[in-house]
């Protein structure tokens, strides 16, 4: 299956006074980096990443992905570094941010349509020990709180890693076979990360939208197959083949008994 994302791009700023921008088709998201008032200039980090020295014992590292998503890794160098890192977002009027039970964040337009998301937060010190972290929403800003000063025996540097993304899937295709038809979908790297159960509705809506005039082919069986494949990743990787002739079986039962393909019982 050809992996087509359409028009997508990541623009990296020259300094922290400018936003990083991710764009996919008609959706664009401007993300202002921590400490924008310092206007830290970009440099090339030792691993080839674009890096900004915030001059407060923290570094911001920009890591664009080939699927149009963007990781922003904060390197916390010592206990003197801040414990909060704010990402101001330039959103359309009426857009909202919402933290989900899984810790992920969804960005919705005024009509409740999924625009973009942020993966669940994580933070680790240099030994690999997890450090408590969470997101807070302040207006149109996303703030990551990193409790590195409250933890014991922290080995610096500490890394905190928000991941912003728009496209969960490449362009889906419909394939006609003797039994009926298949909707073949290929998740992006971002889509395999942003896959907690409270995000599945966004997966469904994006695929149906990208199917365009073929969207009417979506049915309950295909939907349960999709949910099953998301839950079954990475065993279900790399492509999800959603087949019209399968019976409608709850995704959890289908995963346990049939590997998402009732009643054959094997991945396809």
* Judgement on whether residues 67 and 84 belong to the same structural domain of the protein: yes
Q: What pLDDT score does 27 carry?
A: 86
d(CA 112, CA 223): 20
* Judgement on whether residues 157 and 244 belong to the same structural domain of the protein: no
* Judgement on whether residues 218 and 143 belong to the same structural domain of the protein: no
What domain range includes position 88? 8-165
What is the distance of C-alpha 57 from the center of its chain?
27
* Judgement on whether residues 137 and 181 belong to the same structural domain of the protein: no
DSSP code, position 69: -
Final residue in a domain of this structure, among 138, 165, 192: 165
* pLDDT of 35 higher than 60: yes
Q: What pLDDT score does 47 carry?
A: 66
For a pLDDT cut of 70, what percent of the chain falls above it?
Answer: 96
Final residue in a domain of this structure, among 165, 200, 225: 165
265 within some domain: no
Residue pLDDT, tens place only, 215-264: 999 999 999 999 999 999 999 989 999 999 999 999 999 999 999 999 88
Q: What pLDDT score does 267 carry?
A: 72
* Judgement on whether residues 249 and 150 belong to the same structural domain of the protein: no
* Judgement on whether residues 113 and 59 belong to the same structural domain of the protein: yes
Query: What residues does 184 pair with on adjacent strands?
Result: 173, 241
Final residue in a domain of this structure, among 103, 135, 165: 165
- In the chain, how many domains are there? 2
Tally the C-alpha atoms within 13 A of residue 213's C-alpha that lie toward its C-beta. 0
Instruction: Round the CA-based radius of gyration of the chain to a whole number and report it.
Output: 20
Q: What pLDDT score does 1 carry?
A: 39
Other CB atoms within a 10 A radius of the CB of residue 10 amount to 19
């Amino acid at each position: 299956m050809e992996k087509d994302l359409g028009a997508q791009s990541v623009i990296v700023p020259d300094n922290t006074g400018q936003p990083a921008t991710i764009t996919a088709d008609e959706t664009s998201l401007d993300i202002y980096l921590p400490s924008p008032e310092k206007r830290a200039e970009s440099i090339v980090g030792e691993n080839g990443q674009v890096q900004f020295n915030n001059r407060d014992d923290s570094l911001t590292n920009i890591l664009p992905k080939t699927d149009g998503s963007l990781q922003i890794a904060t390197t916390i160098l010592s206990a003197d570094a801040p414990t909060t890192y704010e990402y101001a977002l330039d959103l359309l009027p009426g857009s909202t941010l919402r933290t989900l039970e899984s810790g992920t964040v969804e960005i919705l337009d005024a009509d409740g349509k999924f625009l973009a998301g942020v993966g669940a937060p994580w933070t680790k010190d240099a030994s690999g020990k997890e450090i408590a972290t969470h997101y807070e929403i302040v207006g149109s800003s996303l703030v990551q709180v990193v409790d590195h000063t409250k933890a014991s025996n922290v080995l610096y540097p500490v890394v905190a890693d928000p991941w912003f993304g728009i496209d969960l899937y490449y362009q889906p295709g419909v394939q006609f076979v003797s039994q009926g038809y298949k909707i073949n979908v290929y998740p992006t790297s971002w889509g395999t990360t942003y896959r907690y159960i409270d995000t599945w509705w966004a997966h469904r809506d994006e695929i149906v939208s990208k199917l365009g005039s073929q969207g009417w082919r979506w049915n309950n069986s295909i939907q349960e197959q999709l949910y099953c494949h998301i839950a079954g990743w990475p065993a279900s990787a790399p492509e999800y083949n959603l087949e019209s002739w399968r019976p409608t079986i709850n995704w959890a039962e289908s995963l346990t008994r049939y590997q998402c393909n009732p009643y054959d019982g094997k991945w396809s």
